[in-house]
Structure 1
């Protein structure tokens, strides 16, 4: 282990309008990747639509599930990061590369029990736990505090959003924000960083926080744009998510590349798949 292995990679301060550039570059990557990107977006849209169909009569629970979906979005975006990284390297952006990354994302490890091997899985489980906690909290809050059962979007609008005799909607928003803010700060660049470079889980999370703290106004705009686009996708009976999710996934890759100077860290997945290349890299890095 090198002496500076515990230090964080440098983060950059970026202009306030950078999120617009990320969206523009993400849009370009979306169409360059083509079917490989749109196929993943369609899978997200179909899953969301099924969630809507199954929970349409229990809207109080559905609202929590759909908002919890946002918590898991950074993990779902991993496939889009893979495609944008391939395009950045001048390599073909193919679905085969996405599948290979999901199934054998660190095929060159000496041992798959290495502490660093499971970092993405661990972060995904933490986000899943946070999302599940929010779903249960949201459903319990709406069930217990709403003046009548909330079964439809109209019920939610009438009994929660527009209710004048309680502050349920405000409380729901505050608690949701309290959960969402630290999750956003922890995951906005950490998953892309973990995918791209050999770095431990907590160093990646701290780097993500550092990027947010260095660019608070810019990242507030970025979070607003993410929320707005996802809501547009959901408002089209989830079908718009087939386009919105790939777009945001590719844009998030460019956010990571602009915000974090990861050049001092070794690549997690070598550019070349020559036998032994990753093994030698692991020897040089250690754990």
Structure 2
């Protein structure tokens, strides 16, 4: 039976995979390769990726029904923090396609048998905590500016946001704080999950490797973050339906970005 491990690999050592320097062209090439993966296996995403628009609609519906209108935008923006974790099956499809193996959606579900699953869940839990923290901070920010009483309707809520000085401050401060949360998520998990799919190195090594890759390649990783943010905005506009296309492309592209950033020391 395999030894249960989370923070380190099976040898109880914290691995330090070698990081490469990349350029902007590598980022766009990774995105192009992700699109190629999506086109090669489009039939599988009806099962895998409709969960994203469904979850998005559920989140917005829940927040509206619970008189929590101020949290609609934080929910929409913060939901993207969980994207790298929710796309683990897509990394496996890209990995298998790269190796010339069968890459059906069944293999995406096979990630549950990965020896690195505890580490994957640990990093996913970290992102979930970050997501919840963002919602709490966003709620506190709104209450500090508008008071504890929730808006009576969506129209009144939008009017208070765009017609009052507090609304401008809320948008400016909220976006600045959200940027900080997004920066933490990006720098700690930009390649963490693909690395764990590829190598059972443990949660600490996966997060540390993402941080080192970000520090060594700040501009390309920042460009990748901007591309992700822009595509997610485009995907959420038509009632989140666009996420069914955007998310798999970004998931596959993340695998190829990982392959460019982390040297394959086993070759």
Normalising by structure 1, report the TM-score: 0.80
More deviation in 187-196 or 16-25? 16-25
In the TM superposition, 1:165-176 aligns within 5 A as 165=166, 167-176=169-178
Q: Secondary structure at the match of 1:56?
A: helix
Q: 1:59 to 1:215 in 2, by over 3 A?
A: same
Q: Secondary structure at the match of 1:258?
A: helix
Q: Are the equivalent residues in 2 in contact too, given 1:83–1:93 (CA < 8 A)?
A: yes
In the TM superposition, 1:32-111 aligns within 5 A as 32-56=40-64, 58-102=68-112, 104-106=113-115
Q: Are the equivalent residues in 1 in contact too, given 2:89–2:108 (CA < 8 A)?
A: yes
Q: Are the equivalent residues in 2 in contact too, given 1:189–1:255 (CA < 8 A)?
A: yes
User: Matches of 2:223 and 2:158 in 1, distance apart?
Assistant: 26
Q: Are the equivalent residues in 2 in contact too, given 1:38–1:246 (CA < 8 A)?
A: no
State the partner residue of 1:125: 125
State the partner residue of 1:239: 241
Q: 1:234 to 1:162 in 2, by over 3 A?
A: farther
User: Matches of 2:258 and 2:193 in 1, distance apart?
Assistant: 9
User: Matches of 2:175 and 2:36 in 1, distance apart?
Assistant: 34
Q: Are the equivalent residues in 2 in contact too, given 1:37–1:83 (CA < 8 A)?
A: no
Q: Are the equivalent residues in 2 in contact too, given 1:49–1:239 (CA < 8 A)?
A: no
Q: Are the equivalent residues in 1 in contact too, given 2:60–2:75 (CA < 8 A)?
A: no
Q: 1:122 to 1:218 in 2, by over 3 A?
A: same
Which deviations, in whole Å up to 9, do the C-alpha atoms of 1:152-189 show, x marking residues without a partner?
66656543366435522211112112222122100000
Which deviations, in whole Å up to 9, do the C-alpha atoms of 1:257-279 show, x marking residues without a partner?
111113349xxxxxxxxxxxxxx
User: Matches of 1:173 and 1:231 in 2, distance apart?
Assistant: 14
User: Matches of 1:179 and 1:131 in 2, distance apart?
Assistant: 8
The structural deviation recorded for 1:62 is 2.0
Count residues with an aligned counterpart. 254
Q: 1:33 to 1:153 in 2, by over 3 A?
A: farther
In the alignment, which of 226, 229, 247 is matched to residue 227 of structure 1?
229
Q: Are the equivalent residues in 1 in contact too, given 2:194–2:258 (CA < 8 A)?
A: yes
Q: 1:252 to 1:154 in 2, by over 3 A?
A: farther
The structural deviation recorded for 1:236 is 1.0
State the partner residue of 2:3: none
Q: Secondary structure at the match of 1:239?
A: coil
In the TM superposition, 1:245-256 aligns within 5 A as 245-256=247-258
Give 5+ residue unaligned stretches, structure 1.
107-115, 266-287
User: Matches of 2:154 and 2:259 in 1, distance apart?
Assistant: 39
State the partner residue of 1:279: none
User: Matches of 1:59 and 1:15 in 2, distance apart?
Assistant: 41
User: Matches of 1:19 and 1:151 in 2, distance apart?
Assistant: 45
Indicate the RMSD between aligned Cα atoms, in angstroms: 2.5
Q: Are the equivalent residues in 2 in contact too, given 1:37–1:80 (CA < 8 A)?
A: no
User: Matches of 2:184 and 2:213 in 1, distance apart?
Assistant: 13
Q: Are the equivalent residues in 2 in contact too, given 1:60–1:151 (CA < 8 A)?
A: no
State the partner residue of 1:191: 193
